[in-house]
């Protein structure tokens, strides 16, 4: 931040907003240090987003391949063979994904192709004085989309839901356990890690601060999924873990450096830390509580929080 003048820092602080910088300023003490800490957290969050994106893509594709094999049909997502049925929540998500895929496909059409959809959308001709939004909706619904187009519209929320207790018998035991072949791993262990990744991914997507216990728990969750999704090779690692290993290691180093800085700020601002050594049990307890209070600013979103717009 040395390249920024005091006037620059004041202008940047206004752009970021005082409300947003409050958490960082309460830690760092000065506006300049708060802006620097804000930028460091964003860098960690950016690196974390790229890693969680790979995990999400890998999980989605592994689930799709396994369920295609399990159900024996390519259209299992929209028309699963009985006796399996989706819960209402997943059915609604799939329907919304179909609409999203239709809108995306419509947006890519040429004007002449869009007009040509009227014939399929309105068998008896376009009604007179039909409002544009209704005509647009009917045209989009007339588009046939492939399963792959629908799948790309489904978010991490949908995929992690397939590992919930709602699908213990119908999906986990009968099919999805095979993509996590380690016999010691149960559904709950997978679900907990996916929930942690999902919660943190949402915070990062909303540009919310992620640090401390939440950050390290997420790194552990990513490593768990990467280490257990698929079959490990002779070296004991899955291909996914080997792919992510360099990025994960670099991210861990960034996370530790960030935590060292935050702990230094907390220690400086806490009376117990003024001693040469924090040897008192009471002081250690107070420091842990001090860190917890600051970490409250990074509390996770509720499990039912919607995904950010895609």
**Which one, of 64, 104, 301, lies nearest residue 96 by Cα?**
104
pLDDT at 293: 44
Contacts of the segment 132-139: beta carbons below 8 A, 24+ positions apart: 136/106, 139/106, 139/114
pLDDT at 297: 44
Contacts of the segment 303-306: beta carbons below 8 A, 24+ positions apart: 303/195, 303/199, 305/202, 306/157
Give phi and psi for 124, each to the nearest 5: -105, 20
pLDDT at 281: 55
Those residues whose C-beta lies under 8 Å from the C-beta of residue 243, and which sit 6 or more positions away, are 54, 226
pLDDT at 113: 94
Helix axes 132-141, 88-107, angle to 10 degrees: 100
The CA–CA distances, whole Å, from 195 to 96, 117, 157, 192 equal: 22, 41, 9, 5
Digit-coded pLDDT (tens) for 273-307: 444 344 455 555 544 554 554 444 444 334 444 45
**Which one, of 169, 166, 191, lies nearest residue 180 by Cα?**
191
Cα-based angle 241, 151, 141 (whole degrees, multiple of 5): 165
pLDDT at 123: 86
pLDDT at 223: 97
pLDDT at 282: 53
Task: Look up residue 307 and give its two tokens.
Answer: 């995904």
Task: Look up residue 118 and give its two tokens.
Answer: 């009227």
Give the up-direction half-sphere exposure of residue 207: CA atoms within 13 A in the CB hemisphere.
Answer: 5
pLDDT at 299: 41
pLDDT at 307: 52
Could you read off the pLDDT tens digit of each residue along the chain, which spans 310 residues? Answer: 789 999 999 999 999 998 899 889 988 889 999 999 999 999 999 999 999 999 999 999 999 999 999 999 989 999 999 999 999 999 999 999 999 999 999 999 999 999 999 999 898 888 888 898 999 999 999 999 999 999 999 999 999 999 999 999 999 999 999 999 999 999 999 999 999 999 999 999 999 989 999 999 999 999 999 999 999 999 999 999 999 999 999 999 999 999 999 988 887 544 544 443 444 555 555 445 545 544 444 443 344 444 544 4
Question: Cβ(272)–Cβ(65) under 8 Å?
Answer: no
Digit-coded pLDDT (tens) for 92-124: 999 999 999 999 999 999 999 999 999 998 988
pLDDT at 270: 47
pTM of the predicted model as reported, rounded to 2 decimal places: 0.82
């Amino acid at each position: 931040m040395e390249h920024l003048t005091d006037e620059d820092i004041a202008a940047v602080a206004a752009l970021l907003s005082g409300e947003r910088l409050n958490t960082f300023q309460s830690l760092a003490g000065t506006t300049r240090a708060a802006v620097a800490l804000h930028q460091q957290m964003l860098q960690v969050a950016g690196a974390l987003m790229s890693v969680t994106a790979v995990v999400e893509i890998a999980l989605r594709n592994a689930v799709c391949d396994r369920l295609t094999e399990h159900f024996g049909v390519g259209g299992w997502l929209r028309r699963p063979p009985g006796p399996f049925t989706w819960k209402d929540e997943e059915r609604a998500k799939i329907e919304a994904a179909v609409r999203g895929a239709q809108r995306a496909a419509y947006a890519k059409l040429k004007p002449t192709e869009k007009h040509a959809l009227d014939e399929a959308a309105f068998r008896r001709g376009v009604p007179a004085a039909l409002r544009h939004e209704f005509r647009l909706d009917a045209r989009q619904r007339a588009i046939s989309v492939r399963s792959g187009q629908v799948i790309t519209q489904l978010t991490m929320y949908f995929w992690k839901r397939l590992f919930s207790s709602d699908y213990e018998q119908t999906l986990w035991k009968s099919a999805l356990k095979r993509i996590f072949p380690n016999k010691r791993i149960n559904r709950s262990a997978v679900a907990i890690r996916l929930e942690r990744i999902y919660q943190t991914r949402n915070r990062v997507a909303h540009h919310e601060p992620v640090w401390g216990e939440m950050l390290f728990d997420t790194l552990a969750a990513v490593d768990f999924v990467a280490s257990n999704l698929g079959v490990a090779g002779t070296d004991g690692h899955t291909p996914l873990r080997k792919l992510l290993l360099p990025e994960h290691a670099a991210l861990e180093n960034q996370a530790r450096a960030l935590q060292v800085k935050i702990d230094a700020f907390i220690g400086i601002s806490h009376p117990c830390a003024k001693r040469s050594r924090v040897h008192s049990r009471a002081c250690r307890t107070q420091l842990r509580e001090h860190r917890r209070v600051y970490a409250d600013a990074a509390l996770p979103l509720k499990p039912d929080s919607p995904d950010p717009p895609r």
